[in-house]
Structure formats: structure tokens, C-alpha cells
Amino acid sequence: MEINFIPIDYNYFDYEGRNYLKIIGRTDNNRRACIIDSCPVYFWAILKQDLNEKEIKRLQEKIESIRLKKESRNVEVLKTELHEKCFLGEKVKAMKIFITNFKDSHDIADHLEFKEIDKKREYDIDFITKYILEKKLKPLHWYKITGDILNNSEDFGGIDSSLEVDLCLKADKITELDNLEFKPKILAFDIETDEFDIGKGEILMISLVGENFKKVLTWKKESNHSFVEKFSDEKTMLEAFVEYVKKYSPDILVGYFSDGFDIPYLRARAEKNFTKLSLGIDGSKPVFSRGKLLTSRIQGIVHLDIYRFIKVVYSPYLQSETLSLNDVSSELLGEKKAVWIHKHSSKIKHHEWDSYYEYNLQDSVLTYKLTEKIWPDLMEFSRIIGQPLFDISRDSMSAHVENYLMNNLERYNEIIEKKPVSEIGERISKERYEGAFVYQPKPGLYENIVFFDFTSMYGSVIVSFNLSKSTYRDRKTEDSIEVDLEGKKAYFIQKKGFFPEILNDIIEKRKKYKKEYNQKKDNLSKARSNAFKLLANASYGYQGFFGARYYQQEAAAATAALARKYIKETIEKIEKAGYPVIYSDTDSISLLRDKRPKKEVLELLEKINKSLPGIMELDLEDFYKRGIWVTKRTGDFGAKKKYALINEEGKLKIRGFETVRRDWCDLARNTQNKVLEYILTEGNQKKALEYVKDIIKKIKERKVDKNDLMIKTQLKKPIDEYKSESPHVTIAKRMKELGMPVDIGMLMKYFIIEPESYQKTRTGKTKGLIRDRARLPDEEGKYDIDYYLNNQILPAVENIFEVFNLETKEIMNGKKQMKLGDF
DNA sequence: GTACACTACATACC
DNA sequence: ACTGGTATGTAGTGTAC
């Protein structure tokens, strides 16, 4: 039998003590297939140098005779082979040790206490990763697979008949095809409940959305909507949910935060109702793995929690203030959640149920659309990094980098380094190293500004200077370069290491696909370019990350040190060419062009580029018409990481200002934004001042919408772990008392009310703590005019006006008058 | 009772 | 704990006077 097959979900199972893969995917005629395959299980013992043949032979015999007793199976070494390999760039002799079951790797490795062995490696790589590396059956690539079909056979304990698949094939020969097209069958789901604590309340309804498929299952109220189906009780509804999933037979079942909420809730309610949530294609229920975050896996179907992928891969590039389904959908899809004000089901009026159903359905619609939108990225990440979708959607950025590395080490004949275990503590306690250089700006309004930036600066430094674990030396060697790290010196050899070479490849691929995208504007090259960009950006942090297999703090420190050196040298060159530099942060430099033509600036850029080492490259970011840098509030010098620019097309670029900070009230943010806009577009501060005065007037006259006064602060840890109680912690406590859901990561929303008379001093000043006057959005109380003027509006605009030496007295006057009036 | 230094915390920049 | 360091700024905390 021969089929064309695309692997989607990978699982393993044991049969007669051996490990087998159970790979679920699709055939080209859209049938669901399962491939059974296996691969050799082994790890490496790297031998000490200068062993003679006899010693090696003797060691081999000793290793091959290892037998361990375990309850479930016999543990033994099957055979060994001697290989010439590389480890961290050095040639080594290594013994390949074959065993029966990968779960014994650790145990056997622990038993190899022989003096001839220097190191043991690759016993800590999980079986699925190993299989993909070994057999090259990469996720989401098409293959021609020949093998025996298992038709109700007893093979592998009758696995064929226990799976809901169209065919089951024992793989014999695997050949990669070059087709890359694939559209998965996606089913999105979402639940609504009365209580937020997992399993505490009943599940009122479940929505399901697929292609031409929309359903809301409930057991509450009948509905006029045709997509609503009513069942007699919660249990029947849960069973119908399982049936619908089975019938739809999706490749992907996707939720938004479903690892943390929907799936655990469904499990809890299924248990309570004595029914089995048999979503797996083998009839099994979701399996949860513990970690800091709950993760749930469904056999044969990829359970995606799209929120997790968005958080790791998308969030650094999103503008959204939260990663809620609503915020992310409005940014990525231009579509919002339906409106529904949450209330307990007992309080929902008859006619209101329909909008609740609509709301529930819309959540699944958005989740479905988001998944469709993000699919090219998910697929390309999975292909490039070589990990199954399930892992791709949940792994951290450092894991992505590491998996990509592991996937590319074969051509270097490298044995893979181990994960740190005992080393972690020591690595964490290591002193931090010096990072980026940030230029101290002079406050002021500037015209005709140019921004240069280094392309993938840290990546290009790592590549150009060969900075990595395998190329690092703690003492000078014949050809090494020396980097000074605050007194300590680090050395890096010239011979190219695999890490910088692989990174160079990543950067080149990024360039290639970016170019390709600019020509074709297709999703595939966009997703590829994006994936390589993210990998390049995370590679520097990876080498400084304590959990990395290829951790080398000196390499990370040297990267930062060399980046500082080159940005400072470049600043000097620019100034020598007669352009005043006004600001610089890490990899960017801004300079004043004044009246000199752009052509000259570009010539300077070219000249600088000729002198830069290796693949380092300075690029033109943009020309700006005008820009403003302000004073630090606690000092009389320029603030770093805070500026606003307007380019020649009139587009604003605002960095660091309150405008872009979510923990300031909208009124302050919008006012500041307007002020910056007036100043930058027209270079006119008068209008801006008038605008602010008007806002002040509105505040004093209590004409401001309460919603614009809400301060939003995120709760970052459990309430009782806070050492100091800031207003948002007080609010969190109050919400909890009121029985409202409070969880880590949530945004606490509050406003500040007027002080009572006892909260005032004789002179009329407010005493006491702000948190005592913090109120929930719908709590009573008049907003405190004084607070919003002095703690929100004025701080946001004060040092902008200061740039113009504009006496803020005018504004201050307002402030004083208010105080007098208040008194 | 208040002024001040210091700490805790959140958030942004690159 | 789940890439790195640099930086600003508010509100609370503790202490001296």
C-alpha cells in the first residue's frame, strides 16, 4: 500500500516493551490516516581521549552486558557502535548505545559510571523529537509512504480497530514530496459558565464553529436561533459536544485560553456528571500535564490553545493592551466580541438568552477566524523548527530557538548538548552583565531628524565575531579575538562555530523571504520571513538564558559589549561628518540633517557600512520632520527611552510617553497625545496649551466621562504575595470580597474619589493613602479633581511644555485656583 | 505630622 | 523559570526630626 500523507499529530506507545510512533495525519484524498513507525533508540557516551582499541573493546563489552531490573520490563543495552563525532566543535570518539525503550535512557545513563567515559549525551531528548530528527518525518510536510495496511489485525495489540481513522499503515518506506499545500480542518469551541472557578458551576452552553458549521449546545432555554440546540440536561449536552467533535472530525480543536479554562472545566463537569469526555480518536479523555500552566492533550486531534501561541509569538508585535480575545481580535481581525453583560444564569431574563447564545457563538467565530489568520505562521513555525503543532503552540521562544538548533546540528555531525539540571542554580545566581548603550539626549524640539538602525544588530555581532559556547575560550589562543568584559576577558576562536553559522543562515533566510514577500506578497513567504526574524531576534537572549543547552553568558556579554563598541564608534563617525547625534538606544542612532540633502546622508551611510566588520550593517530607518525629547521628571537632564517623532508623511511615532502606557488613565493619555500631535504637526505649542487648559476646565467642571478616568494596572502575582499594597492590590482584594473573578494577569480597573473631610489637613491638602480612595468603576463617589489634575494630567504634559521654556505657571495657576476654590 | 530616602511594582524600549 | 539588559515613574513604607 502506498499513500501520500501529511503528519499532523505525533504520539507514542509501547508494544512489547518497545517504543512506537502513532502519527495522525491526512492523505491527499483527505482521509484521516494513522502511520505506525519506530526508530532506533539510543544515546551517546563520549569517550575520553587516547583510549586504545583494547580499552574501547573492553568498555563496549561492559556496556553491552548492562541489565537492569524494572517492574514493567527488562532493561538492557541492545548493542553499541563506535563513531567519530563532534561535540561542541571538537572531534570526539563516541559510543552509540542502543537500548530497547527510551524511558530507560536516564536509568542506563546513570549506570554508566566508567572511567573511560567522559560525558553522556542525548539521553534527555524526548522520543518524538528524536524520531523526527532520526526519520525526518517532519510535521506538515507531504510524504509518500509505503507499508502494510493494518486491517483489523491483531498487530500492535489491535491498535487499528481502536482508532477512529480511515486507515492505519505500518510504515516501511518514507519519501518526501515537494508539495507544501495544506489546509487543516479546524473546529473552534468555547463554553459559558456561571462560576469562574474550574468546575464550580454548571456549563450553560458550548459553541462550536467550523467551516460552514455553527452550533451552540445548551440545556437551558429554547431559542429562535437555528444554531442553538437544546438538550435535557448538562450531561446530555456534554455527550452531544463529544459526538459533534467526533462527527466533524477536525485536525485541530481550538480554544482561546482553553488550556487554562475550557478543557479543565469540561473535564470537571464530565466527572461530576459521570460521563466520559472521550474526545480522543481512541476514545480517551484529554490528558493534562502539569507545569506552571496546565496543558491538555487530546489523542489524535491537535488541541490548540491559540492564546498561548499569540502570547509567545505575536504579543511583542501587537499594539493591544491586553491579550483578551476581544483586544486581539479587534487588532488582527478588525472584529469584536458580542456584547453581553455577565450575570448569573438565574438572573437572566427569558428574552435575554438569545443574546447570550449569540455572544457564546461569536467567541468561537473569533477563535476560528484568528486560527485561520494565524495558520500560515503556525504551519511555517512547525515546519521550520521541526516540532509538532501541539508543541509549537505552547513552547517558549527559547525552546523554539533550541529546537531549531537541534534540527540543524546533523550537518555538523554534532552530538547534542544536555539540558542543564544541576547547573541551573549556579547560572541563575551569576551576576548580570552590562547590556546596551543608551545615549543621554538633550531635551528639545528638533527638526529634520534621521534615524539609522543596525539590522539584526545582536545577531550580526554574534555571526561576525563567532560568539558562542563552542567557540568561547577562557584564555588566549593563537587565533582568538579578545573581548573585554568589565575587567574579565573572554576569547573566541576564529574557526566558525555551528551556532554563529546557523544564525547566519537564519539571518540570510530572513532576508531572502522578506525580499520574496515584497515581490509576491504571499502568506507563505510572509510567515517564513516572520519566523526567521523571530528566531534571529531571540538567539542573543538564548545564549544568556540559564535554561539553554547552549548557554554561554560570556558570549552574550561579549555580544552586548561589541554592540556597544560599534554603536559608539558609529556615533563618533557621524559626528565627525558634521551631523549632531541627538539620541541612540541599543541599535539605533538619530542625527540632525539640518538643511543638508538626503543624498549626503545616504552617502554617509554607505561610507559607514564599508567600514563595518562581518555582516554588520547600518540601515536607514526613516527621515523625520520633527521630534521632541523631554526632561526626566526627577532631574534636569533628558529622559531616555521617551521621545515622539513625526515623519514626512505625517505619521507619529511615540515611544515611552504616558500616551503609550496603559497604566495611565485615558484622559491623561489622550491629552498628552493631542499635545504631542499639535506640537509635532505644526511646531506650535500655543494650540496645545489651549487644548490642555480646556481639559483642565472640563475636569474642574466635572464634565469628564468617568470611563476616561479609569486607571488600569495588571495584577502580576497572587494578592498575598505583595509586600506593598498599591491601589490596584486594594482593588483586587475588594473584588475578591465581592465574589468577582480575580486572577493573576488580570487588569485591575479603578478611579480615585474625593477625600472625606477627615482625610484633609487644616490647609486643605489631602493626607493619607491613595489606595483608600481607589474605587471600582461602578462604585459610588465623585472623582477627585485634585488627583486627576496633579497626578494624571499635569505630569503628562508638564515636561513637554517645559521644552519651550513655556511658563507652565498658566497651567499651574489653574491648579492653584482650583485648590483655593476647593478650600 | 511631615519630609525624605528608599523600596516595590508596573510598564516601556530595544 | 521558560530569551537579555536599560530605563522611567508612581505609590507605599519606614524613619528621622
Please determine, for residue A818, whether its predicted confidence score (pLDDT) is greater than 80.
no
Cβ neighbours of A57 (radius 10 Å):
12
Distance in Å from B1's C1' to A755's CA comes to: 18
pLDDT tier at A815, thresholds 50, 70, 90? very low
Cell digits of residue A56: 574501547
What residue is closest to C10 (Cα–C1')? A791
Please determine, for residue A689, whether its predicted confidence score (pLDDT) is greater than 60.
yes
* A676-681 average pLDDT score: 96
Q: Give the strand order in the sheet containing A90-99.
A: A67-69, A74-87, A90-99, A41-47, A117-121
What residue is closest to B7 (Cα–C1')? A724
Burial of A185 (0-12, 13-18, 19+ CB in 10 A): middle
Strand C proximal residues, A:408-467, Cβ < 7 Å: 424, 432-436, 438
Distance in Å from B13's C1' to A319's CA comes to: 14
Burial of A412 (0-12, 13-18, 19+ CB in 10 A): middle
Look at residue A153 in the predicted model and tell me its pLDDT: 78
What residue is closest to C11 (Cα–C1')? A726
Tell the residue number behind the cell numbers 504637526, with chain if given. A681
* A200-220 average pLDDT score: 97
Distance in Å from C1's C1' to A536's CA comes to: 22
Characterize A216-227 residue by residue with b for buried, 16 or more Cβ atoms within 10 angstroms of its Cβ, and e for exposed.
Answer: bbbbbbebeeeb
Strand C proximal residues, A:577-606, Cβ < 7 Å: 586
Cβ neighbours of A317 (radius 10 Å):
9
Nucleotides of C under 7 A from a protein CB: 1-13
Look at residue A634 in the predicted model and tell me its pLDDT: 86
User: For A413-450, how does the pLDDT look when each residue is reduced to its tens digit (9 = 90+)?
Assistant: 999 999 999 999 999 999 999 999 999 999 999 999 99
Please determine, for residue A807, whether its predicted confidence score (pLDDT) is greater than 70.
no
For residue A691, the one-letter residue type is Y
User: For A174-192, how does the pLDDT look when each residue is reduced to its tens digit (9 = 90+)?
Assistant: 999 999 899 999 999 999 9
Q: What percent of chain A has pLDDT over 90?
A: 86
**Whose C1' is closest to the CA of A765: which nucleotide?**
B2
* A64-69 average pLDDT score: 86
Task: Name the residue among A659, A660, A656, A677 with its Cα closest to residue A668.
Answer: A659
Please determine, for residue A316, whether its predicted confidence score (pLDDT) is greater than 90.
no
Tell the residue number behind the cell numbers 454548571, with chain if given. A202
Task: Name the residue among A219, A253, A252, A212 with its Cα closest to residue A233.
Answer: A219
Distance in Å from B1's C1' to A660's CA comes to: 38
pLDDT tier at A822, thresholds 50, 70, 90? very low
User: For A291-305, how does the pLDDT look when each residue is reduced to its tens digit (9 = 90+)?
Assistant: 777 899 999 999 999
Please determine, for residue A251, whether its predicted confidence score (pLDDT) is greater than 70.
yes
Look at residue A813 in the predicted model and tell me its pLDDT: 52
Tell the residue number behind the cell numbers 554617509, with chain if given. A604
Assessment of whether the complete model's pTM goes beyond 0.85: yes
**Whose C1' is closest to the CA of A556: which nucleotide?**
C4
**Whose C1' is closest to the CA of A395: which nucleotide?**
C2
Q: What percent of chain A has pLDDT over 70?
A: 97
Strand C proximal residues, A:544-563, Cβ < 7 Å: 544-547, 556, 560
User: For A159-173, how does the pLDDT look when each residue is reduced to its tens digit (9 = 90+)?
Assistant: 888 889 999 999 999
Task: Provide φ and ψ at A90, rounded to 5°.
Answer: -100, 145
**Spatial contact of A127 and A11, defined as CB atoms under 8 Å apart:** no
Burial of A764 (0-12, 13-18, 19+ CB in 10 A): exposed
For strands A252-255 and A167-176, give the pairing: unpaired
Task: Name the residue among A522, A297, A530, A295 with its Cα closest to residue A400.
Answer: A530
Distance in Å from B2's C1' to A817's CA comes to: 24
Question: CA–CA separation, A499 vs A468, rounded Å?
Answer: 6
Question: CA–CA separation, A761 vs A769, rounded Å?
Answer: 13
* A30-52 average pLDDT score: 95
Task: Name the residue among A520, A201, A466, A443 with its Cα closest to residue A346.
Answer: A201
Distance in Å from C2's C1' to A552's CA comes to: 17
Question: CA–CA separation, A422 vs A298, rounded Å?
Answer: 33
Secondary structure (H, E, C), A748-779: EEEEEECCCHHHECCCCCECCCHHHHEECCCC
3-state secondary structure of A355: helix
What residue is closest to C9 (Cα–C1')? A633
Distance in Å from C17's C1' to A790's CA comes to: 28
Distance in Å from C17's C1' to A637's CA comes to: 32
pLDDT tier at A202, thresholds 50, 70, 90? very high
Look at residue A808 in the predicted model and tell me its pLDDT: 57
Look at residue A158 in the predicted model and tell me its pLDDT: 82
Rounded (10°) angle between helices A498-520 and A457-465: 140
Cell digits of residue A813: 495657576
Q: Give the strand order in the sheet containing A747-752.
A: A711-714, A747-752, A774-775
What does strand B contact on the protein, if contact means CB under 7 A? A 321, 436, 453, 585-588, 641, 654-656, 660-663, 712-717, 721-724, 726, 728, 747, 761, 763, 765, 767
Burial of A643 (0-12, 13-18, 19+ CB in 10 A): buried
3-state secondary structure of A243: helix
Distance in Å from B6's C1' to A622's CA comes to: 42
The answer to whether some atom of strand C lies closer than 7 Å to the beta carbon of A284 is no
Cβ neighbours of A474 (radius 10 Å):
9
Cell digits of residue A125: 531528548
Nucleotides of B under 7 A from a protein CB: 1-2, 7-14
Task: Provide φ and ψ at A161, rounded to 5°.
Answer: -80, -15
Cβ neighbours of A410 (radius 10 Å):
12
**Spatial contact of A264 and A295, defined as CB atoms under 8 Å apart:** no
Distance in Å from B13's C1' to A578's CA comes to: 28
Distance in Å from C8's C1' to A661's CA comes to: 11
The answer to whether some atom of strand C lies closer than 7 Å to the beta carbon of A639 is yes
Query: What are the start-end ranges of the E strands in A407-515?
Result: 444-454, 472-473, 481-485, 488-492
Look at residue A79 in the predicted model and tell me its pLDDT: 94
Cβ neighbours of A334 (radius 10 Å):
7
Question: CA–CA separation, A797 vs A717, rounded Å?
Answer: 32
Distance in Å from B8's C1' to A758's CA comes to: 28
* A678-700 average pLDDT score: 92
* A209-213 average pLDDT score: 97
What is the DSSP-derived secondary structure letter of residue A51?
-
Question: CA–CA separation, A332 vs A313, rounded Å?
Answer: 14
Look at residue A820 in the predicted model and tell me its pLDDT: 29
User: For A463-509, how does the pLDDT look when each residue is reduced to its tens digit (9 = 90+)?
Assistant: 999 999 999 999 999 999 999 998 899 999 999 999 999 999 999 99
The answer to whether some atom of strand C lies closer than 7 Å to the beta carbon of A766 is no
* A259-267 average pLDDT score: 95
What is the DSSP-derived secondary structure letter of residue A415?
P
**Spatial contact of A20 and A127, defined as CB atoms under 8 Å apart:** no
What residue is closest to B8 (Cα–C1')? A724
pLDDT tier at A823, thresholds 50, 70, 90? very low
Distance in Å from B6's C1' to A427's CA comes to: 29
**Whose C1' is closest to the CA of A321: which nucleotide?**
B11
The answer to whether some atom of strand C lies closer than 7 Å to the beta carbon of A641 is yes
User: For A699-730, how does the pLDDT look when each residue is reduced to its tens digit (9 = 90+)?
Assistant: 999 999 999 999 999 999 999 999 999 999 99
Look at residue A724 in the predicted model and tell me its pLDDT: 92
